[in-house]
Structure 1
Amino acid sequence: MTLRLLASQMAARAIQRDAVVHKWRVFRDIREARELIGATERSLSVLNALLSFHPETALGGGAAIIVWPSNEQLAARANGMPPTTLRRHIGVLVDCGLIIRRDSPNGKRFARRGRGGEIEHAYGFDLAPLVARAEEFRDLADAVHAEKKAFRVARERLTLLRRDIVKMIDVGAHEGIPGDWTRAERSYQEIIARLPRSAPRQLIEAIAADLAQLSDEIREALESFANSSNAGANVASGRGASRQSNRRPAARRTRGGTPVLWGFRKGALVPFAYAATLVAASKLCRCRSRAPRPSPIHAPSPPGSRAGIGWPRTTSVTTICGSAASPAMWTATGRFATACCSPISPAVSCG
């Protein structure tokens, strides 16, 4: 007899008569909180076998909840557990306050029935503590679930912080960003050295807090350098855009009273009239005309032209709606040239 066993018996006697619990739900709560209760895996196997001897799924406080299997039957349902091991784990269940022994005068387990078949006296294992402590087991199981969740969250946070710090230190060292990255790496290694292989949740949270502080310092250094670099790049791009806008606008000039539009193409100042003439010719050639179409007239490349400023080496001007255009006349001075083509006959109409 122990104080814990006496307290378990007192709780069993104080069960309300209308109290009803589901035996397998109570067993699940006990299994989740077994470390807090003090039970072992093998002892829970014995408890599972004892519950299987009770015919009802619901356990109530209105009647005696006693099972009386023999050691042979109990060992068979406990997956063939040896008798000595079985007795030891039954003692563990009794010490944890999960069952109560109800011994007969001769030490055997049996039930005495009345004339109507009802059980008058039973000697064996009383399962009343499972009903009396069902709420306690549920609270312990909830606490275990909350602790597991908090431990998982702490481990995930620690893993993310370690990954981010290593990547930021690597970026700062290889990109040549100003900063003492050797000291940052040394600080990281000192913090990680405090982490054992199997650490409790409180230690993991403390190490994660130190890593978070180090991560904030490294991130602040990287962000300040990135902001200064972006500001310098914006100023340089603004100056380049200003110079580009001063060079690129097209200028309208005249030659012989005919306006010619000049602009930049591939870095050189070229007349737009040449390109516009070819486009107009290609469009008008698609018009339907009854006049025969002679062979194309080939005009040589303009004198003084070079590859890379936009002119092909040979230009083909095709007959336009029955009236052939005269060859292009070129005047060149260095890299600047003007294309003057004869006008198309206005008498020809496109159907």
Structure 2
Amino acid sequence: MSDPFRLPLGAAAPNCLLPNGLHLHDLRGQPVLLAFAPDEWNPAQAYQSTIFAHLLREFEGSNFPPDISLSCWHSLSCNGVVAAEFGVAGQRALVLLDEQGQVRWQTTVAPNQELRTGQVLAALEALRPLASTGTPPAPAIPGGLSRRTFVTATLAAAALLLLVGPVEAAEPVSPSETQPPMPASNVATIPITLTINGEAHRLEVEPRVALLDALRENLHLTGTKKGCDHGQCGACTVHIDGQSALSCLTLAVMSEGRKITTIEGLAQGEALHPMQAAFVKHDAFQCGYCTPGQIMAATALVQDKQRRSAAEIREAMSGNLCRCAAYPNIIAAIQETQTA
């Protein structure tokens, strides 16, 4: 199979315009990772960051540079202009540029290609730093790559696994050529500690687990409701560091070290939070399913002590849906609380 890339290794990358309005030449001075795929990746950067961190530890131990930033990562459509410039239109591909804007590593991933972490790491083995010889370390590693570019290449290894997406239909193969699926029990978990309602909770979760599922399934804090599971209804709203957040779109592993408050943490013993009391007083609920999310969003809204009109409250609360249409009573409860 011929190499689809138009640019050989070491060639200067074209000054393409990226979706964020920057040109590639604007990014000189840092490694740049261009990932081409037919659709947007979701869950996005948070899940990828977790995988990257694990690969960095596998490659470098605890000594990887603290200033390495994932801002070098750019997810692009394989059907766009930039993909055409690099000769990978319609293909899943990965391109690594060094600080000078030169192409230092590139690959494509076939629709039916299966990749495992070990295979990708082996492909990057040549990029490892030279062994210590007792002499001062050179400023670059084999192949003329700087250490920052090497670390970005390590990130590229993890990114390859994300590029593969759903396997498409392939030619039938004999049973001897197939491998049994990996049991779910072999999926790696990560130990994390979440601070929820003032208490620390130690958990073992997969990197992909949403905060909402960790709350409900692992900690049995079922006051936070699962509605759409796509960040569109607001039923799962919690507070993270005092700000309203959708727990269905927040990964549990990215919530470590932050202060999380759920609906269970608002009341002080038997004393309801003023917002909870106002919801009861104004009968601001019917079936009650959306109520925890409504109350959490409302308490975050009024903490700045601003006096908002009914129209402003309606706009601010537009991300929290009530299928029973109790909106007038919800607005009345919030108005009373913000003037208390």
TM-score range, shorter chain: under 0.3
Structure with the greater alpha carbon radius of gyration: 1
| Greater RCO structure (CA 8 Å; 6+ sep) | 2
TM-score after normalising by structure 2:
0.21
Higher helix fraction (1 or 2): 1
TM-score after normalising by structure 1:
0.21
